[in-house]
Structure 1
Amino acid sequence: MGWLWVAMGGAVGASLRYAAGLWLFKPQMQFPWPTWWINILGCLCAGIFFACSQKYPILQQEARLFLMVGILGGFTTFSSFGLESFLLFKQGAMGLAVLYALSSLIIGIMVLALGFYLTSWMLSHS
């Protein structure tokens, strides 16, 4: 039955990702901001959910499959990140490619940690 939770969440996440990409995309952009913002927001949500799941163990079962694996898995996109990094590199924008790759990784982890610790603190004071 777990696959059904993942499939339903994946449909929601992929739809949200598509809509956010349309909303954020501007034709004149050289830097792939839509994917960058989507992945950063996904990291923040992952940190928040992980903190909540530590406090409420029920969130470690079906809710985790639906929210983390399904929705966030469908929303964030490592393959687009890889392709956009490669395309920047291929177009000769080496500095931009490195900036995109490093900022995605470093800021993504920092925002995930921020979401986790801030949510953990809020849950412990409620």
Structure 2
Amino acid sequence: MTAPKPQAVDEATDPDVDLHLPDQRRLSWRAQAPIVAVVALGGAIGASARYGASLLWPAATGAFPWTTLWINAVGCAVIGVFMVVITDVWAAHRLVRPFFGTGVLGGFTTFSTYAVDIQKLVDSGHARTGLLYLAATLLAALAAVWLAVTVTRRVLAWRQG
């Protein structure tokens, strides 16, 4: 039995590239540059929004990091709505998903800060709070994306039907 031959990437619609496939490694910089640019621009916007939220609602040392938890939950909910809309409803331009999904929402949500917050809580003697935060953020993020996808699909079905 032979392995199936990898299919070439459609550069116009698929921003995800598997570099293990020779056909996909040959994508030119000219084809990739717009994707890199919109991800960078979106990331700057999302990270700036997250930073602004952390300035508006800072967490005290040793306190539960509510701002980061809410940022991650809201970002996950928005990605749930966004993915349903661009996959089920709207034939979006090829740069919309990398700009908004990967860039803006990737920059806005912050699982690296989540990990640092846990470490800071544990190091400052607040291990229970750190463990609670670890579990609460994970559950909130998963629940937010599931709920957003479910509600969005139901609303769309109701509107169509």
Q: TM-score, normalised by structure 1?
A: 0.91
Q: 1:53-91 deviations in whole A, cap 9, x for unaligned? A: 221352373111111100001101111100100111111
Structure 2 regions of 5+ residues with no counterpart? 1-33
> What is the number of equivalent residue pairs in this alignment?
126
Does structure 2 conserve the Cα–Cα contact (< 8 Å) formed by 1:13 and 1:75?
yes
Structure 1 regions of 5+ residues with no counterpart? none
Once the 2 structures are TM-superposed, how far is the Cα of residue 100 of structure 1 from its aligned partner?
0.1
Q: TM-score, normalised by structure 2?
A: 0.72
1:86 to 111, 119, 134: 119
Structure 1 residues 91 and 97: CA distance shift in structure 2, 3 A:
same
1:95 to 110, 113, 128: 128
1:6 and 1:26 mapped to 2: Cα distance?
A: 29
More helix by share: 1
* Residue 118 (1) aligns with residue 151 (2): yes
> RMSD across aligned C-alpha pairs, in angstroms?
1.7
* Residue 105 (1) aligns with residue 157 (2): no
1:59 counterpart SS class: coil
Q: 1:22-80 deviations in whole A, cap 9, x for unaligned? A: 11225477111111111111111111111112213523731111111000011011111
Matched with 1:56 is: 89
Once the 2 structures are TM-superposed, how far is the Cα of residue 102 of structure 1 from its aligned partner?
0.4
Structure 1 residues 28 and 90: CA distance shift in structure 2, 3 A:
closer
Matched with 2:50 is: 17
Higher alpha-carbon Rg: 2
1:124 and 1:91 mapped to 2: Cα distance?
A: 49
2:105 and 2:62 mapped to 1: Cα distance?
A: 25
User: Which runs of structure 1 show a deviation greater than 2 angstroms over 4 or more consecutive aligned residues?
Assistant: 26-29, 56-61
Does structure 1 conserve the Cα–Cα contact (< 8 Å) formed by 2:42 and 2:104?
yes
Does structure 1 conserve the Cα–Cα contact (< 8 Å) formed by 2:62 and 2:126?
no
1:2 and 1:121 mapped to 2: Cα distance?
A: 32
2:106 and 2:158 mapped to 1: Cα distance?
A: 30
